[in-house]
Structure 1
Amino acid sequence: MKFYKPKFWDKKGYPNLISMLLYPLSLIVIIKNYYENSKMKKNYYDFRTICVGNIYIGGTGKTPLVNNLASHFKKRFKTIIIKKNYTSQIDEKKLLETEHKVIFEKTRELSLLKAEHEKAQVVIFDDGLQEKTINYDLKIVCFNSLKLDGNGLVIPAGPLRERLNSIKHYDVVFINGNFNKQSKDFIDRVKSINPNIKVFRGKYVPKNHSKLKKKRFLIFSGIGNPHTFSDTLKSMKIKFYGYEKYPDHYNYKESDLQKLKDLARIKGCELLTTEKDYLRIKKNFRKNINFLKIELLIDQEKQFYKYLNDKL
């Protein structure tokens, strides 16, 4: 299923007419969330559990943070990552399992049983904050610095899975991207809801950009916030002469890639995409397609991990 986020989801200020018309449906989601959060029995486990999730739908940088956390904790503990088995997220699974052990079952409960069997000491969840049956030891909610909470409304009137007020149940807010005035105002709102929550920031740093600066590209991606890709390239002064955008987690067909290659040839460019997109392309179709490899740089990283270690 192709899904493009409606533009009105990220429109700041007063809700538009479409949001107002959809708001009664959002109330149903809010009531359902309240019931699940207050009534469901939570399960406990012998190992430490960290959940990295979001309340804004798509494109908040969960997976790079999960990768960073796993690299840190596996130095001292047997660390396993759990992702729920969605076919649309096989790209993220492939990205993580290049360096880490990943369990990818249909339910998180089944994955947890496997983690127990493998005698895990730390289990990190890529997504799952809305899984109210699990008593996570540490809950991290991610936001993108440009999108933040969008128009502030719950789906379908806005982009939130649950109200911003839900952060009173979480331990850390992690904001990905360049810090700006909107980010500062957002942090003030977050602190007014939960004065005890910790706020940390990070940004993506390209790892293979030097060789890409010598070329020019037609770029393409199917990610939650496509502007993050183009903004990163601009900051690195990597030249591109067109941007073809696809739905988040898009499964590229041979015909899609042939069209892209034909267009790049007409423009006299090479093709460039994200690493996640590259992993969604079948190996026999990857020829002459470049990808940008990134890593997450965490501001005040020592303080960040000191806080996590103390909590666990």
Structure 2
Amino acid sequence: MREPGFWYRPPSLLSILLRPLGALYGAVAAHRMAQPGTAVGVPVLCIGNFHGGGAGKTPTTLALARLLRELDERPVVLSRGYGGKLHGPVSVEPGRHSAAEVGDEPLMMAREVAVVVARDRVAGAALARARGASVILMDDGFQNPAVAKDAALIVIDSMRGLGNGCVMPAGPLRAPLSPQLARTDALIVVGDGGAADPVAAAVKAQGGLPLRARFAPAEASLAALRDKKVLAFAGIGDPARFFATLRTAGIDVAAERVFADHHPFSAQDLAGLSEHARRDGLNLVSTEKDLARLQGDPAAAGFAASVVPFAVTLQVDDAKALRGFVIARLAQARETQRRSGRR
């Protein structure tokens, strides 16, 4: 799905006309969020968004997995596996599964951390525990009440913020902002823009932790693209942010191609990209998430080999504060579980 452009512009006539539907959708979403979730026996840290589309959940999840390993924890990521056909629960194996089976984001993350895909999140959590998880990182699912969450870390883009502030389909919000804010323990604002500043202030006012972060390109990606002109393409939630990240890193982006989030690349797509790059003497570059879909498709393997994956990691400005937050939340969750076990 490609996000409607009017979501990120001032309220238009179309968004105003869609507000009654947004109010209905929002009421249902808020009611669901208020339902108690199932405790799964280990701490659950949820990484989510207030809105549809991308903001950097996957790099944030991987950054938290690295932090947890530094703390001698055994993190397992729990994902719904959006875009994959397997309902699960299933442990993702990069050499065995494809993006068409388990989704592009789980497949990409499974190269670095254990990942379980499950439509039934409670069943998925049980498999994660069977795999030895001491902490579950729930990738998305903030608005889903199935599993009780010990902390919710929300990721938001500093340039786009909340768009027009309306609930789907009138705007990008997945639920009214108020009940979402009430369940937010930490907010990670990605980038140096100011669009998310009011949200960060609201999180801080209610006792949550606002943090600022940015994407740091991998040196190998920079080295592969240095002094070259590129054709950048992406089928993610916010392709514009990917192109901006490339330019900020000093990459000469001569052309851009935008596809819908989780787009299944066709033979025609690949032929068009290859021809464009050949004709203009450009190097192809895309996201790791897009490459995960391409590399899992035998018909696209040759094309994928010609694409440079632009790898990034999330770097939090106040890493000490994030570390302290995680340690405190894990201790609190385990104390709650200990007390519950006494009853």
TM range (shorter): over 0.9
Tell me how far apart the structure 1 counterparts of residues 208 and 227 of structure 2 sit (CA, whole Å). 44
Alignment pair present for 1:187 and 2:205: no
Residue number in structure 1 paired with 2:328: 310
1:202-221 equivalences under 5 Å are 202-207=213-218, 208-221=221-234
* Alignment match of 1:120 (pick from 133, 139, 144): 133
* Alignment match of 2:60 (pick from 65, 71, 76): 65
Residue number in structure 2 paired with 1:74: 69
Tell me how far apart the structure 1 counterparts of residues 256 and 249 of structure 2 sit (CA, whole Å). 16
Cα deviation for residue 105 of structure 1 reads: 2.0
Retained in 2: the 8 A contact 1:18–1:157? yes
Tell me how far apart the structure 2 counterparts of residues 278 and 172 of structure 1 sit (CA, whole Å). 30
Cα deviation for residue 82 of structure 1 reads: 0.6
Retained in 1: the 8 A contact 2:32–2:144? no
Q: Which moved more, 1:211-220 or 1:85-94?
A: 85-94
Tell me how far apart the structure 2 counterparts of residues 261 and 20 of structure 1 sit (CA, whole Å). 42
Cα deviation for residue 224 of structure 1 reads: 0.8
Tell me how far apart the structure 2 counterparts of residues 274 and 49 of structure 1 sit (CA, whole Å). 28
Alignment pair present for 1:136 and 2:149: yes
Cα deviation for residue 55 of structure 1 reads: 1.4
Alignment pair present for 1:268 and 2:281: yes
Residue number in structure 1 paired with 2:22: 26
Residue number in structure 2 paired with 1:163: 176
Provide the aligned C-alpha RMSD in A.
Answer: 1.6
* TM-superposition CA deviations, 1:152-172 (whole Å, max 9, x none): 010000000012212112201
Retained in 1: the 8 A contact 2:18–2:169? yes
Retained in 2: the 8 A contact 1:48–1:123? yes
Alignment pair present for 1:48 and 2:46: no
Cα deviation for residue 35 of structure 1 reads: 2.1
Cα deviation for residue 103 of structure 1 reads: 0.6
Shift of the 133–104 alpha-carbon distance from structure 1 to 2, 3 Å rule, reads closer
Tell me how far apart the structure 1 counterparts of residues 47 and 320 of structure 2 sit (CA, whole Å). 19
* TM-superposition CA deviations, 1:68-123 (whole Å, max 9, x none): 11111124122211111322572211211111110112321211121232342111
Cα deviation for residue 16 of structure 1 reads: 1.1
Retained in 2: the 8 A contact 1:85–1:107? no
* Alignment match of 2:248 (pick from 222, 232, 235): 235
**TM-score for both structures, normalised by structure 1:** 0.93
Residue number in structure 1 paired with 2:210: 199
Retained in 1: the 8 A contact 2:78–2:136? yes
Residue number in structure 1 paired with 2:189: 175
**Which stretches of structure 1, 4 residues or longer, exceed 6 Å deviation after superposition?**
none
Structure 2: any 5+ residue segments left out of the alignment?
A: 85-101, 331-343
Amino acid at match of 1:308: V
Tell me how far apart the structure 2 counterparts of residues 155 and 164 of structure 1 sit (CA, whole Å). 12
Residue number in structure 1 paired with 2:339: none
* Alignment match of 2:306 (pick from 285, 288, 300): 288
Amino acid at match of 1:309: I
Residue number in structure 1 paired with 2:111: 98
* TM-superposition CA deviations, 1:220-260 (whole Å, max 9, x none): 11111111111111112211211011001111122211111
